[in-house]
Amino acid sequence: MGVGVGFRYAAAVRCMQPLALVGFVLLGAAHAHADAPPLPVSDQAYDLDVQLSPDQHRIDGSERIRFVNHSVRVLHELYFHLYLNAFANDKTVFMREGGARLRSTRLGARGGITLLELRTADGTDLLAGADTELIAGDRTQLRVHLPDALAPGSAIELHVRFRSQLPALVARAGFADDFLMVAQFFPKLARLEDDGTWASFPYHGLGEFYADFADYTLRVRVPARYMLASGGDEVAARSRGPVQEHTFISRSVLDVAFAAYPYFVPSSFKHDGVDVRFFAPRGYDAAVLRQSDVVRGALTHYAHLFGTYPYRTLTVVLPPRAAQGASGMEYPALFVSAGPWWALPRALPDPAQDLVAAHELAHQWFSVMLASHEVETPMLDEGLAQWAALDFERQRYTASSWLHALDFSSHELFDLVRSIYLSRSGRAPSSLLPAYAYTYDDLARAVYARPALVLDRVEQTWGRARLEHALGAYARQQRFHHPTLANLWSAFDDTYGASFAARQLRPALAGKKDALLSEPAGPPSATLTAQLLFVAQALMHWIGT
C-alpha cells in the first residue's frame, strides 16, 4: 500500500460523520463475499434515485453525492463526467473519433444528460458558473467551481437533479427495441488522483473509463412488467401500483449500471460463495447453460490466479439480438456477455459462447477491482483480461476428453491468436499507448492480442509457476489500488529478477522487433496439407460432377 493510499483511507475514516459510518459498516456487512478479504472503505458515496420511462428511453433522477478530498492538495473545483452526452451529436469527441463508425453503426436516436440542478448541501448553486464544454463540441465533461476551498480530508455533499435520454444503442449504453442498457446515465465525479489532479477526460471513441471507488445506493422505479439486472445486492423490491421499485446496494465499486427488459428469463446458482444470476432473453437456455459453465470454471480459475472475487453477487446479462451494441462490456459485479442462443455441446470448443464470457469475467479483476486507467493504459485491463480468458479456455478445452482425443494440443488456442496476429502486414503499434492513439484494428492487435501472446511466451520460456507468481502478486497487491504500468513492471521484476521488465517484458509489449513473438517459418504441415487437399477434392467433387 503506497503512502497516498494510506493517507486516503485515513482521511476518509477521519472525516466520516457518525451516521454515515454506521451506514458504511452495515453496507460492508451486506456486501463482502464471505471468503474474500474485506472490501476497503470508500470515501465517496452516491445515493441515486431514478425513474426509468422505458417507452421514452428516459431517466429522471436525483442523486446525493458524498465526496471526500482524499488528495494532498486543496481543491477549488470539481470535475464531473456526463458521458451520455457522447451520443448527443456528431461533434462529440466520441463521434469525431469514430465511436459509431468503428462499430459499423450510425448514431440513431440521440442521447444525453441534462443537469437540472447541482448544489451543495447548504443550497449553493454550482451550475451557474460551471464550464460545460471543456472541449469544443463535447459536453461529456463538466467543471464546477467550489464556493469554498476543500481542504485535504474534508468532505462535501452535493445534490443533483438530472434527466438522461438514452440513445439508440451504439456502444455500451442505450436502447434497442424493448431492451435498455442503462449505463453512464448519471453525473459522476472524475477520479481524483492522490496528488490532487483530476483524471478527467472526454468519452473517447475507443477508450473506456477510470473512476474512484465509491459506495452506491441505486433506487429505480420502472413499470412492473420490466425486469432489472444490476450488479450489487437487491435489498428491496416493492410494488407501487403499475410501478415496481428496486433498490440495489454496491460497496467499493467504480460504477453502477443496469439492464431493463420485459422478456428476461432469470436463472441463478451459487458458486464458490458467489450468487451468480443470469438474465437472458427467451430461448437462450443453451447459451446460459454453456456460459454458466464458463462462469463456474473461470471464477475458480481466476480466484486461484488473482485472488478471490470480492463481491457477493455476480450478474450476467445476455442481451437480445437487436442489442449487440451493449454486449462485451463489464461493470462492477455485472457483465454483458454475447453469443447466439444456440451452443455446442460441452465437450466441444465453442469460442462464440465462451470467449466473451471468460474475457468479461476476467475484467472483474482487471478493471473492476484493479481499477487501472482504462483510457491511458488499456493494456492493463484489456491485455491482461485477454490473457486470462485465453489461459482459462486453453485449460478447459485441453481438459475436454473429446478434444484430447482429437489431440487438440494445449497451446493451440494461443497459436490461433498468434497466427491471426502475425498474419496482418505491418507491425502493430506499441501495446503501451493510450486507447485514443489506436485504430480499431490496431487496438485489437496491440492491446488484446499482443499482451496475451507475450505473456504466453513468457510462460513457455520461464515456466508457469513464475508467471502465476508475478501476475498473482500484481493482482493481489494492487486490488482496489488503481495500479499503473510501473506496478506491473515491479511485480515482474520481483519475480524474474531486477530489470526483467526493462529488458524483456517492456520491449516485447512495445512491439520492438516483436522480441518474444518472432518465430522461424516452419515447413508447411503435411497433415494439414493432406486434409486441405481432401476438403478441396470434396468441394470439386460436389461442384464438378
Partner 1 sequence: MTRPASAAERLGHAGAATLLVHLSQSLLASGVALPLGASFTVPSFGTQLGPLLLRVAVYTVANALFAPALCMTWLYALLHPTPLRELTRRGFARYGLALRVSLACATCAGLLLALGVGSAWLVHRALSSAHDARLQDLGALAACLPTLIGCSFLLTIHDTARAAVALDVAHVRAALRAGYLAASARVIVERNASGAFALALFALGLLGPRLLFGAGPDAGLATLLITQALALAMTLARGLWLARALTHTERVLTRASVPRT
Contact residues toward partner 1 (CB under 8 A) are 178, 262-263, 281-284, 320-321, 340-342, 405-407, 409, 415, 418-420, 422-425, 518-545
Shortest separation between residue 265's beta carbon and partner 1, angstroms:
10
Q: Which is nearer to partner 1, 34 or 528 (CB)?
A: 528
Residue 61 interaction partner, one of Zn ion, partner 1, none, beta carbon < 5-8 Å per kind: none
Q: Which is nearer to partner 1, 2 or 262 (CB)?
A: 262
Shortest separation between residue 302's beta carbon and Zn ion, angstroms:
14
Q: Which residues of 314-352 are buried (b: 16+ CB within 10 A; e: fewer)?
A: bbbbbbbeebebbbbbbbbbbbbbbbebebeeeeebbee
The SS3 of residue 172 is coil
Residue 467 is placed in which grid cell? 508467471
Residue 519 interaction partner, one of Zn ion, partner 1, none, beta carbon < 5-8 Å per kind: partner 1
The closest alpha carbon to 361, from 301, 272, 290, belongs to: 301
The dihedrals phi and psi of 365, each to the nearest 5 degrees, come to -95, -60
Shortest separation between residue 256's beta carbon and partner 1, angstroms:
26
Residue 104 interaction partner, one of partner 1, Zn ion, none, beta carbon < 5-8 Å per kind: none
CA distance 238 to 224: 10
Shortest separation between residue 103's beta carbon and Zn ion, angstroms:
14
Q: Which is nearer to partner 1, 145 or 282 (CB)?
A: 282
Residue 422 interaction partner, one of Zn ion, partner 1, none, beta carbon < 5-8 Å per kind: partner 1
| CA angle in degrees (0–180, nearest 5) for 194-200-163 | 125
Position of cell 438522461?
164
Residue 497 interaction partner, one of partner 1, Zn ion, none, beta carbon < 5-8 Å per kind: none
Q: Which is nearer to partner 1, 242 or 523 (CB)?
A: 523
Q: Which is nearer to Zn ion, 155 or 368 (CB)?
A: 368
Residue 486 interaction partner, one of partner 1, Zn ion, none, beta carbon < 5-8 Å per kind: none
CB atoms within 10 A of CB 299: 20
Question: Which residues does 355 contact at the CB level (< 8 Å), separation at least 6?
Answer: 389, 390, 393
Q: Which is nearer to Zn ion, 212 or 382 (CB)?
A: 382
Q: Which amino acid is at 5?
A: V
413 close to 452: Cβ distance less than 8 angstroms:
no
255 close to 331: Cβ distance less than 8 angstroms:
yes
Evaluated on CA atoms 460, 461, 467, 468, the torsion sign reads: positive
451 close to 485: Cβ distance less than 8 angstroms:
no
Shortest separation between residue 84's beta carbon and partner 1, angstroms:
26
Residue 46 burial (CB < 10 Å; 0-12/13-18/19+)?
buried
Shortest separation between residue 57's beta carbon and partner 1, angstroms:
18
Residue 283 interaction partner, one of Zn ion, partner 1, none, beta carbon < 5-8 Å per kind: partner 1
Q: Which is nearer to partner 1, 17 or 419 (CB)?
A: 419
Residue 545 interaction partner, one of Zn ion, partner 1, none, beta carbon < 5-8 Å per kind: partner 1
Question: Which residues does 498 contact at the CB level (< 8 Å), separation at least 6?
Answer: none
Residue 34 interaction partner, one of Zn ion, partner 1, none, beta carbon < 5-8 Å per kind: none
Residue 19 interaction partner, one of Zn ion, partner 1, none, beta carbon < 5-8 Å per kind: none
Shortest separation between residue 291's beta carbon and partner 1, angstroms:
15
CA distance 186 to 207: 19
Q: Which is nearer to partner 1, 168 or 235 (CB)?
A: 168
Residue 132 burial (CB < 10 Å; 0-12/13-18/19+)?
middle
Q: Which residue is nearest to Zn ion (CB)?
A: 382
Q: Which is nearer to partner 1, 348 or 502 (CB)?
A: 348
Shortest separation between residue 386's beta carbon and partner 1, angstroms:
19
Shortest separation between residue 386's beta carbon and Zn ion, angstroms:
7
- Stretches 12-20, 376-384, 453-461, 512-520: which one binds Zn ion (CB under 5 A)? 376-384
Identify residues 49-68 at the interface with Zn ion (CB under 5 A). none
Say how many residues touch Zn ion, by CB under 5 A: 1
Question: Which residues does 181 contact at the CB level (< 8 Å), separation at least 6?
Answer: 166, 169, 172, 173, 174, 175, 257, 259, 317, 319, 323, 326, 336
Residue 37 interaction partner, one of partner 1, Zn ion, none, beta carbon < 5-8 Å per kind: none
Residue 407 interaction partner, one of partner 1, Zn ion, none, beta carbon < 5-8 Å per kind: partner 1
Q: Which is nearer to partner 1, 241 or 522 (CB)?
A: 522
Shortest separation between residue 61's beta carbon and Zn ion, angstroms:
28
268 bridge partner residues:
277
The SS3 of residue 157 is strand
Residues 379-418, mask of contacts with Zn ion (x by CB under 5 A): ---x------------------------------------
Shortest separation between residue 260's beta carbon and partner 1, angstroms:
14
Shortest separation between residue 382's beta carbon and Zn ion, angstroms:
5
For every residue of 29-86, DSSP letters joined together read HHHB-TTSPPPPPPS-EEEEEEEEETTTTEEEEEEEEEEE--SSS-EEEEEEE-GGGG
Strands of 329-331's sheet in order across: 313-317, 334-336, 329-331
Q: Which is nearer to Zn ion, 226 or 365 (CB)?
A: 365
Residue 111 burial (CB < 10 Å; 0-12/13-18/19+)?
buried
Q: Which is nearer to partner 1, 33 or 418 (CB)?
A: 418
Q: What does the binding site for Zn ion look like in residue numbers (CB under 5 A)?
A: 382
